[in-house]
Structure 1
Amino acid sequence: MKNFKLNSFTKTLNIFHIRHVVLLLLLFAMTTACDKEDAPIPEEEQILIDPLKEKEEEEEEKEEETPQPPTQNDINQVDTAVSNFMTKHGVPGAALAVSVNEKMVYTKGFGLSNTNTNKATEADDVFRIASISKTFTATAIMKLVEEGKLALSDKVFGPGGVLGSDFGSATLTTNEMNITVDHLLIHSSGGWGVSTGGDPMDFEQQLDANSFIEYIFNNWDLQNAPGTTYSYSNYGYWLLARIIERVSQETFEAYISTMLTPTGATSFKTTTFREEDREPNEVEYYASAQENHWIYTMAPRRDGDGGVVISTPDLLRFICAIDGRNGRQDLISTPTQGFMAEPSEFSILGRGFGVWEQENLLFFTGSLPGTRTWFYLNPQNGVTAVIALNSRGNSSEFDNDLNTLVYNLVKDASIPWQTDLDLF
């Protein structure tokens, strides 16, 4: 019986002891937890949960990971060729722009834009481009044709002609009334060119457009029937500019400026060939003693035939929009571009492009007192080169050397163009 009671007490004591131990353990656990909550957070843990610090580190890592865009490197092979040409022919300044597959890979100014102030030529300085203006004019005409607003077979003059027949005292001949838009594009109007009586563009500068056309009809007869012979005619392209104005109901300059909007070209304008009309970043022009007086006295009427002022990068933007390739937005369809690039039955000139079939090249050039311009477009390798000079030189070798220079730029496969670059 005693053993039973002792055993019962022991059991009771054991139970009490166990309960006491459990209670002490619980109190210890709670105390430890409170101490842990009150303990300071280690410094490294504070850094990890600092949102501002974390964001700064992420941005730093992002900056380190973002690759820097490539920049243009000088190409000694190109720079030497341009500089040697300029030195040989006494050209003060030049600007060059080159594209490969419609990406501008090289653009640079050379020499001086103004010899009096020793101002260096910048890559985006603007130049008169003379007859390369005709490529803009031809493109605008073909765009109007694509839009159904004009037909190449449309007569220019006479009843029903685009420009009509109301030219004061002028009486139009049958040949004059048979001239079509396409005849003007391919220089086959029958006259009004250097080889057919001379270039009338700088005569009677005081006359407005309508009076000037009247003057031409009364004083410059066609030498041939339209569509039978070739005679390069500035007047013909000036007439095309008047057609663009009549059909679009805008000035030539306004229409072309709007047309160029998708290309990103912003420096386009037409000049009046007066010194006060120069742009702030327009180069000065230099000519021989015999030609110097013409620099600021040419007829202000000249626009679609030779009056465009533009930078070489913007000229390149325009050419890349009519070259038939699909790297940049086009201004005209590929079939239209192909049609423009076909030589006519009378000459190597198509409609806004010259065609060197043996070399598979498209080109056009411009020349006025104080100005020489040239471009080649190589459809095979996608290289296009544009150069503008502020002098056209006096040497008989000048044009041949310039032709060779630009030809090599689009043909020489050894030139290390940076094809990962696009300066557009």
Structure 2
Amino acid sequence: MRYFLILFAALLPARALALDTAPLAEAVEAARTAEGIPGVSVMIARGDERLFSQGFGLANVELATPATPHSIYQIGSLAKTFTAVGIMLLVEDGKLALDESITHYLPEAPAHWKPVTLRALVGMRSGIADYEEASLEGDDEALIDLHRDYTDAELITRLGRAPLLFAPGTRVQYSNSNYVVLGALMTRIAGEPYIDFLTRRLFRPAGMNTARKASLEAVIPNRADGYVHAADLRNADWVSPTLYSTGDGGLMMSVEDLARWHQLLVNKTQPLAQTFAPMWSVAPYPDGTRPVIGYALGWQAQSAGGVSVVGHGGTWAGYRAYFLHVPSTGLSVAVLANLESAGTGRLAWKLAGLVDPRLYRQAAASDPDPKTTQAHRALFKALLDGKTIEGAMTPGAAVLWTSRARQELLDFASPVRTSQSFVLVRRDKRQAVYRLDAGRFDVVLEMALDKNRRVSGINVTIE
């Protein structure tokens, strides 16, 4: 009789087997409490089914306003995904070409940007320095002052003052400047502010009715306020209105908007269906080698448990966001929080793992073998410093971890070098997985182990 029951259960439609949402709610509340996050809103959907949508904690601490699925958050760099889609719409309109130099469209751009193509900008391969980190040699002034307003022309002029960090196309380096330029370019080519173009061509047709330009001045119903942890909880620092709403992170929305975005991703008949797949593919370098960090066209592309996953995170002005999508199963998870240091990526992956165990990346509650963890930590630090530890790696693994691979990781998440965190996720005879806090990102480090417990391979992904 037991075999009959198992067979019968397998024949039931997937939506008839209701998901137990209690572990999802418990996981969110545990993370919110542990990290001191004021408010979190979460959405999980698979295919046409909404599995979970709920708010936790407070959207506004001063007024004790509860967070809900309708709470609106600044989404930071998650906005890059939408900016990239806007660029692709203009490509489909025949107004842009991905392999054309950006100086063709922005003739006022500096001459040394001529080798930079539109594709290199969207894929983080331009070599243009990140405005949040760069300054000119001998000049303590940052390229961009976050407390000043700039026109698009002034932004391009200031960003163009710095030399390119590498030959365009030859490396992947995360740079917000790429998407500042893309926002200005979209405005130029579309003939309207880039946010108006996105609203008209993407948000409103998708039913994302509250997705909008980020603003500190506008009265926005259901806005969640952004906070940071210093000695205690405080409001986030002020950012100038123009820099609060540039193409690298200037959008606000709710998880309800992201639920409708999910529907665009899974609806194979809608007009954008043919646009997404090419954006999820990570192209090799000109010499045929593949990047260590899987940044495609406005999406981070990686895998877990042999399953391809795409998504993006965001951190900006008191908020943190993360959205992941599994193309093969149609699963999407969105986490928005009103604390700049919130681990939204960790939480999104944990929730995804509770729905689909193949994606499980939950940190272990305890480490049964701290000595092995310390040995792996020492090895990874040595590799980041350009060194090796004799006998710790197989010869083949040492060869694969090239200087370019090391540099690419440091380019993308430089704080990983000084990160104090090195948390065991899981470890068995064949693999050890750790998570490191690298500021804007979490770095997931996977080490393959041979029969002698030596590291035989390394894979790095970004959350």
Q: Is the shorter-chain TM-score for this pair beyond 0.5, marking a shared fold?
A: yes
- Letter of the structure 2 residue corresponding to residue 261 of structure 1: R
In 2, are the aligned partners of 1:95 and 1:108 still within 8 Å (CA)? Answer: yes
User: Mind listing any 5+ residue stretches in structure 2 that lack a counterpart?
Assistant: 1-15, 136-141, 285-290, 360-463
Is the 1:90–1:393 Cα contact (8 Å) retained in structure 2?
no
Offset, 1:279:
1.1
Match of 1:229 in 2: 171
Q: Decide which moves more: 198-207 or 385-394.
A: 198-207
Structure 2 counterpart of 1:155, from 101, 112, 116? 101
- How far residue 269 of structure 1 moved from its aligned partner, in angstroms, is 0.9
Matching residue's letter, 1:411: D
Instruction: Give the corresponding residue for 1:242.
Output: 184
Letter paired with 1:367: T
Residue 289, structure 1, aligned to residue 230, structure 2: yes
Q: Corresponding residue for 1:266?
A: 209
Q: Does 1:330 align with 2:265?
A: no
Asked if residue 107 in structure 1 is aligned to residue 39 in structure 2, the reply is no
Mark the CA change 1:197 to 1:293 in structure 2 (over 3 Å): closer, same or farther: same
User: What is the CA–CA distance in structure 2 between the aligned matches of 1:399 and 1:311, rounded to whole Å?
Assistant: 14
Q: Give the superposition deviation at 1:144.
A: 1.3
Give the equivalent residue in structure 2 for 1:179: 116
Where 1:81 maps in the other structure, the secondary structure is: helix
Residue 366 of structure 1 is matched in structure 2 by 314
Letter in structure 2 aligned against 1:407: A
CA positional deviation for 1:75: 2.3
2:340 pairs with one of 383, 392, 396: 392
CA 318–401 in structure 1, closer or farther in 2 if over 3 Å, else same: closer
Name whichever of 142-151 and 72-81 sits farther off. 72-81
Question: How many angstroms does 1:196 deviate by?
Answer: 7.8
- CA–CA separation in structure 1 for the residues paired with 2:234 and 2:153: 30
Please say if 1:341 is aligned against 2:280. Answer: yes
Offset of residue 264 of structure 1? 0.9
The one of 190, 193, 196 aligned to 1:251: 193
From the two aligned structures, give the one with the greater helix fraction.
1
User: Secondary structure in 2 aligned to 1:287?
Assistant: strand
Aligned pairs (5 A) from 1:11-410: 75-157=21-103, 161-165=104-108, 172-173=110-111, 175-193=112-130, 197=134, 200-203=143-146, 205-218=148-161, 220-259=162-201, 260-272=203-215, 274=216, 276-289=217-230, 294-298=236-240, 300-301=242-243, 302-321=245-264, 323=265, 325-326=266-267, 330-334=270-274, 336-345=275-284, 346=291, 347-357=293-303, 358-393=306-341, 398=343, 401-410=346-355
Secondary structure in structure 1 of the residue aligned to 2:102? coil
Mean Cα deviation higher: 339-348 or 132-141: 339-348
Output the CA distance in 1 between the equivalents of 2:246 and 2:348: 25
SS of 1:106 mapped into structure 2: strand
Q: CA deviation at 1:106?
A: 2.3
Letter of the aligned partner of 1:188 in structure 2? R
Q: Cα deviations across residues 305-364 of structure 1 (Å, max 9, x unaligned)?
A: 01100011112212431x2x336x635242x31110012434311112111134311111
Does residue 411 (structure 1) correspond to residue 359 (structure 2)? The answer is: no
| Superposition deviation, residue 197 in structure 1 | 3.4
The secondary structure found in structure 2 opposite 1:246 is helix
The alignment's C-alpha RMSD in Å is: 2.9
CA distance in 1, matches of 2:145, 2:357: 40
Q: Which has the larger radius of gyration?
A: 1
Deviations 1:70-114 (A, max 9, x none): 9x9982121111101101101110111121113333211111111
Tell me how far apart the structure 1 counterparts of residues 96 and 341 of structure 2 sit (CA, whole Å). 40
- Following superposition, the deviation at residue 192 of structure 1 comes to 1.4
Q: Cα gap change, 1:152/1:411 in structure 2, threshold over 3 Å: closer, same or farther?
A: same
CA offsets, 1:339-397, max 9 Å, x none? 10012434311112111134311111111241111111122322111110001337xxx
Residue aligned with 1:113, SS: strand
User: Over residues 166-189 of structure 1, what are the superposed CA-to-partner deviations in whole Å (9 max), with x where a residue is unaligned?
Assistant: x6xxxx33x312211111001111
Shift of 1:205: 2.0
Q: 1:188 to 1:299 in 2, by over 3 A?
A: farther
- 1:209-259: CA deviation from partner (whole Å, max 9, x where unpaired): 1122222223x2212221122221111111111121111111111111112
Counterpart amino acid of 2:322? W
What fraction of aligned residue pairs are identical, expressed as a percent? 24
Shift of the alpha carbon at 1:262?
2.0
Q: Counterparts of 1:331 and 1:136 in 2: how far apart (Å)?
A: 15
Q: Are the equivalent residues in 2 in contact too, given 1:342–1:355 (CA < 8 A)?
A: yes
8 Å CA contact 2:214, 2:252 repeated in 1: yes
For structure 1, the residue ranges without an aligned partner over 5 or more in a row are 1-69, 415-424
Which has more strand, going by share of residues?
2
- Maintained 8 Å contact 2:333/2:348: no
| Offset at residue 407 of structure 1 (A) | 3.2
Structure 1 residues 130 and 379, CA gap change in structure 2 (3 angstroms): same
Higher relative contact order (CA 8 A, sep 6+): 1
The structure-2 alpha-carbon separation of the partners of 1:195 and 1:242, relative to structure 1 and needing over 3 Å to count, comes to closer
Cα contact 2:71–2:222 (8 A) shared by 1:
yes
Aligned length: 326
| CA drift at 1:289 | 2.6
